[in-house]
Amino acid sequence: MSVPQPPARFETVQVAVRDGIGALTLDRPAQLGALNAAMLGEIGQVLDEWEADDAVRGIIVTGTGERAFAAGADIAEVENWSMADGLANAMQRLYDRIEEYPKPTLAALNGAALGGGLELAMACDIRIAVHGATMGLPETALGVLPGAGGTQRLSRLVGAGRALEMVLTGRALTAEQAERHGLVTTVVPAEDLLDTATEIMTTVLRKGPLAIRLAKMVIRPGSDTDQRTGMLLEQLAQTLLYTTEDKAEGTAAFLAKRRPEFGGR
């Protein structure tokens, strides 16, 4: 007799935690990972839980299958969006939260990342992709803009000229083109994607957690302001870190030629 299984906690995402890494998998393969209201809500719920969970120190976001990471917003829902929905923009708020998340995030693009899917990836700290993945913002073909941070994050990552070409034409980049333009940092065979993502995140998690958190807080805002202000932010962050137990442990471990044991204090 088969043993009944408990119902899945989520309908549109899968979650797992191992060795300090939370894996969040977008799970609407029949819709090519299209982002609907239910998925956005479940992603937000997972972020809430993992932010409060000390066992989760970093997050990898990926998709299901080989075709798509997320092929944009669910057009069936977009068709009914109003001006009020445009102003409220739950997707933009969620992606802002991902960008400001206190723990490191990595998007592992298993396939096409288009529209809201690429905007989700750009909100993450690090992006890697498989050969054959494509990345683009085709919203102008629908008579709208990339409205979840796409116009702003893309221009900061690849430059205004390349961003304008991508948005105005709607053309997608190949993974290799995206790597050349700095949109992703690594391109790997599909079978190596999750291992590579895990290796990168594991490397990040071996570093001082306070330093990682402050680096995130300094680099993003620093790129949005003048260099002098950015340098001041860097100086303030470094001054804070010099008072921490992690700084003492890191320097002691370096001198003793051993791996540091950071406590996040």
| Strand segments (E) across the chain | 13-18, 21-26, 58-63, 68-70, 105-109, 112-114, 126-130, 134-136, 173-174, 186-188
Task: List pLDDT tens digits, range 242-254.
Answer: 888 777 767 787 8
Average confidence (pLDDT) over 196-205: 96
Distance CA 43, CA 20 (A): 18
Run of H or E residues at 218:
helix 209-222
3-class secondary-structure state, position 256: helix
| Candidates 139, 179, 191, 234; catalytic one | 139
pLDDT at 259: 85
List the alpha helices (DSSP H) in 30-146. 37-51, 75-78, 83-88, 90-99, 116-123
β-strand pairing of 21-26 with 13-18: antiparallel
Average confidence (pLDDT) over 97-115: 96
pLDDT at 36: 87
pLDDT at 8: 57
β-strand pairing of 58-63 with 105-109: parallel
Q: Would you say residue 230 has pLDDT above 90?
A: no
Distance CA 119, CA 214 (A): 23
Q: Is 119 known to be catalytic?
A: yes
| Candidates 11, 49, 99, 119; catalytic one | 119
Least confident span in 156-160, 219-223, 232-236: 219-223
CB of 142 within 8 A of CB of 123? no
Distance CA 226, CA 19 (A): 39
pLDDT at 87: 45
What CATH number labels 209-256? Answer: 1.10.12
CA dihedral angle for residue 42, residue 124, residue 23, residue 118, rounded to 10 degrees? 70
Confidence category of residue 133, pLDDT binned at 50, 70, 90: very high
SS in 3 state form for 74-95?
Answer: CHHHHCCCCHHHHHHCHHHHHH
Confidence category of residue 59, pLDDT binned at 50, 70, 90: very high
Confidence category of residue 101, pLDDT binned at 50, 70, 90: very high
Question: Looking at the whole model, is its pTM more than 0.75?
Answer: yes
pLDDT at 6: 41
Q: Is 139 known to be catalytic?
A: yes
Residue 83's identity, in one-letter code, is M
pLDDT at 7: 46
Distance CA 39, CA 11 (A): 8
CA proximity to 244, closest of 222, 211, 207? 211
β-strand pairing of 68-70 with 112-114: parallel
pLDDT at 1: 36
CATH of 13-205, one of 3.90.226.10, 3.10.20.310, 3.30.365.10, 3.40.50.10800: 3.90.226.10
Confidence category of residue 4, pLDDT binned at 50, 70, 90: very low
Average confidence (pLDDT) over 70-76: 78
Confidence category of residue 3, pLDDT binned at 50, 70, 90: very low
In whole numbers, what is the pLDDT of the chain averaged over residues?
Answer: 87
pLDDT at 205: 95
pLDDT at 159: 92
pLDDT above 90 coverage of the chain, percent: 54
Report domain extents, the chain: 13-205, 209-256
Question: Which two three-digit tokens encode residue 231?
Answer: 């340098």
Distance CA 48, CA 98 (A): 11
Distance CA 158, CA 1 (A): 57
